[in-house]
Amino acid sequence: MSESEVRAAVERELPGVRADLERLVRIPGIAFDGFDHSHVERSAEAVAELLRGCGLDVRIVRSGGQPAVIGRKAAPPGAPTVLLYAHHDVQPVGDLTLWESDPFEPVERDGRLYGRGAADDKAGIMAHVAALRAYGDALPVGVVLFIEGEEEYGSDSLERLLAEHRDEIASDVIVIADSANWDIGVPALTTSLRGIVNCFVEVRTLDHAVHSGMYGGAVPDALTALARLLATLHTDAGDVAVDGLAAREGASVDYPQERFRAEAGLAEGVSLIGTGRITDRLWTKPALAVLGIDAPSTAEAPNALVPAARAKLSVRLAPGDDPKRAYAALRAHLEKHAPWGARVTVVFEHDGAPCVIDASGPMFDAARSAFRTAWDGTDPVDLGIGGSIPFIATFQEMFPRAAILVTGVEDPHARAHGPNESLHLGEFARVCLAEALLLKNVAEVGVDGR
């Protein structure tokens, strides 16, 4: 197919792709504990049906976790095989009062499709489907679609799945559709991602709660002790103050401060934290956040000194850091800075490795060319991502000869993981075209060009 034929085919398929995306968004497939996992099963079945409709051999697989979907179509003689990754599970919705519409009933407003998973990552699935539908029986490469079912919950079983199906999914190129573009109208290739370490820290000062009037002033309460401990995690400027965490500079682009403040929704008068270029703070330096605190609610709090309080911490690790070493450094810091001799207990939750991708070579050139065409001549940006996709390091280790292309459908206004998540429909159309053109370009490069 010529470039113009590919473009016309994608445009022809977009209405059906949009309708199927909306059907996927209506399935609340949340893999977190405490949610109805039958919806994750429904989601996997829906994805499997979509892939069968593209002429793929499909099966649903699992390895002790949530269902993933593998679809395969053999390559034409001499053509390369491309692995297309996305995930069908979604984040919990959080406080429903913060949503302007039902998170599982997709709604279009001002050119954006709102709904949980509309961007992250059901649009990634449908970008793959759009490319396959555009080619029909004329697909120029072999494809393996691997659609995961628990990425948002930490991909606990993914490494086992990859090992068990390694020969089945081995490919020359891996396209991971779970990242973002630089801006509306500006595509991007993700070339680095931070790692992650999550843990819980509990501070205990008493065996039991005691009267705040009878004992206050001499006995420390656990909430105050926890607050003082958490305050040691950052410098006055807002940089992470944990010794032993890697940090570097050298991001290829900068983020204009006013644009960043607007896209983040920063309240008026609130200062940014950290030092250095904003892109370095987001991509190549560690970040540490307090995600939650277990303590009495204000509505239920008696006049008593709290004996124990617990917080959940999340550290984003700079590329080049080691999660195990970083967790040891964080734990040492928390234990060292325990205020007033309080008993500090640190419990590990999960981690994931950062990664750096050498985005050079013919396959990356093929991707950039596809993006440039789909975005009407705009050159793609090589960017880092402050978030984490730990399994990319696993793909790098298991398939060292494959070119790994990290792409995505999100833009700075997508609000993935938050209330009112949305997908820019114009950009989604470009993503679908770019992926179809990428498959064409990869076929022209051939197996030897990897």
- Measuring CA to CA, how many Å separate 77 from each of 18, 73, 167, 171? 33, 12, 18, 15
pLDDT, position 387? 86
Do residues 182 and 252 touch, judged by C-beta distance below 8 A?
no
- Measuring CA to CA, how many Å separate 303 from each of 210, 212, 213, 221, 227? 9, 6, 8, 12, 18
**Number of residues written out for the chain:** 450
pLDDT tens sequence across 182-203: 999 999 999 999 999 999 999 9
Do residues 344 and 225 touch, judged by C-beta distance below 8 A?
no
Residue 392 carries which side chain, given as an amino acid letter? I
- Count other C-beta atoms under 10 Å from residue 207's C-beta: 8
Rounded distance between C-alpha atoms, residue 386 and residue 279, angstroms:
9
Residue 205 carries which side chain, given as an amino acid letter? T
Do residues 295 and 183 touch, judged by C-beta distance below 8 A?
no
Half-sphere exposure of 231 (CA within 13 A, CB side): 8
pLDDT, position 333? 98
Rounded distance between C-alpha atoms, residue 364 and residue 382, angstroms:
11
Q: Alpha-carbon torsion 110, 115, 120, 122, what sign?
A: negative
pLDDT, position 175? 97
- Count other C-beta atoms under 10 Å from residue 10's C-beta: 24
Give the catalytic positions in this structure.
Answer: 89, 151
Q: Which residues pair with 407 in a beta bridge?
A: 177
Rounded distance between C-alpha atoms, residue 328 and residue 407, angstroms:
32
Q: Which residues of the chain have pLDDT under 50?
A: none
Bond before 183 cis per omega within 30 degrees: no
pLDDT, position 450? 59
Rounded distance between C-alpha atoms, residue 179 and residue 74, angstroms:
27
Closest by CA position to 210, among listed 200, 222, 227: 222
pLDDT, position 25? 98
